[in-house]
Amino acid sequence: MNRGSRAGPDMVRRNPARWLVAMAGALMLAMAPAMAQEHNHATGTASSQANTAQPVATPADGTSAATAPAVSYHNATIFTLKTGIAGGRMVYIGVGGDIDGQTNPTLMVHEGELVQINLINGEGAEHDVVIDQYPARSSIVVGVNASSTFSFVATKVGEFAYFCSIAGHREAGMEGLIHVMPGPREDMDTDAADIVHDPADLPGPIGQRPPQVVKVELETVELKGRLDDGTSYVYWTFNKKVPGPFVRVRVGDTVEVHIRNASDSVMPHSVDFHAATGPGGGADFTQIAPGEEAVVTFQALKPGIYVYHCATPSVAHHITSGMYGLILVEPEGGLPQVDREFYVMQGELYTVEPFGTQGEMEMDYDKLISEKAEYFLFNGSVGALTKSHPLYATAGETVRIFFGVGGPNYTSSFHVIGEIFDHVYSLGSVLSPPLAGVQTVTVPPGGATIVDFKIDRGGHYVLVDHALSRAERGLAGYLIVDGPKDDEIMHSGPAGSLGK
């Protein structure tokens, strides 16, 4: 099945300013009420701490310390077409993904998808793109490399023509087909595993208790996981998820880490805790071959939120493939109480194939060391926090997000569209007073932060890296909030019009 690149990588690199404008338009489309079904999830789907899985970090004695929206912001299926001449005819040429280099490629999409088409002028004549039987068209582009982008929702099933409406151009060869198939794309997925760590799956607060020995169980597992609809990647993981388990201890605890490398692994693995003081953060004691086990113990000396990751060469290769997570060392007495907590990490993938290509992806080492990422991801995959595991809350609640960057290379400008952080624990420090009233927080690779905010009204809030071109490479999430969506805080219409 042919499928366009969801990124338009050449366009992003050449025209970042245009792409930021395009992203704003795509955001407005994706968040429009007419384009999304009402969310209806069963009781218990929300991320209350009472419903989380068993804590990963447990005392050494063994005691324990829904449906996504129909249209999602990141999830536009993006095709890039460049005008050109082929065989003496005027044509569109596919750029990136499965349509790369194809003349007048057939664009395959699924019913209900948000579709974005990017047009690049390749030879300097006037051109546009019009979708037959859809109210969708680009602007006219004239100069070489001039570009336009437009979006629409594929509400009609069938085959429809796309063409240039400039007089004579369609007849000269500028025409292709867009095929809208019935049903969602995920129905055609491969057998790849779900490697996404549910952001609501983290152990609850420790609070007041004396220091103790806490045992942490880690298993390094290599498995084929779902990267995107119809796309897979062989991830290297801690406990079969990306990120690995959220580890929660308190300052003064003794942390006893048991790490086992699965017998069917190909690579040796290890773990380096940024919360640990000692050689390699524990990595010097945990370099283990497939089938081996190791134990390392360290003291949690300083409170804060810290990254852990594999530290086996090539370290960047192990990290990019999914081997990272967070450990929270609570201060004595714990953090201020909130209603809900979530666990989110950002990472990149460097694949041989362009973003949006279907099939099994392979890692490209040259792209890795050149820092030319194809994918930017929250919790390991495209759609992880929109389709698979959105964050859920209720208006009036306080929310805390533990956010980290596995990387291995890119700094994040973490932002929640439609919210302002009440408190930010800058660089993961809980010893310094938190910042107040912050819009966007910078988090370096191998770094982490904690953000708290109260949700004052219902609606869809979007998690992004405010380097917004990365949203077109997979990086976005939803915070879906039940509650009033039209009030004095924000409502449609002029001031004083509420309820009229």
Q: Which residues are annotated binding-site positions for Cu cation?
A: 269, 274, 309-310, 318, 323, 466
Q: Which residues contact 95 (CB under 8 A, 6 or more apart)?
A: 5, 8, 9, 10, 11, 80, 81, 82, 120
Alpha-carbon gap, residue 157 to 181, rounded angstroms: 6
Closest CA to 434 of 388, 400, 464, 392: 400
**What amino acid occupies position 422?**
D
Cβ atoms within 10 Å, residue 365: 13
In 100-227, alpha helices (H):
none
Contact residues for 351 (Cβ-Cβ < 8 A; gap 6+): 233, 357, 361, 362, 363, 364, 367, 374, 375
Longest dimension (CA), the chain: 80
Alpha helices in 173-271 (DSSP H): none
Using an 8 Å Cβ cutoff, are 206 and 330 in contact?
Answer: yes
Helix (H, G, I), strand (E, B) or coil at 374: coil
Nearest partner of 234 among 243, 225, 244, 247, judged by Cα: 225
Residues at the binding site are: 269, 274, 309-310, 318, 323, 466
Q: How many residues does the chain have?
A: 500
Other beta carbons less than 10 A from residue 256's beta carbon: 17
SS3 content of the chain, % helix, strand, coil (to 5): 15, 40, 50
Tokens of 431: 């010893």
Locus of tokens 């910078």 = 442
Which phi and psi angles does 23 have, rounded to 5°?
A: -65, -40
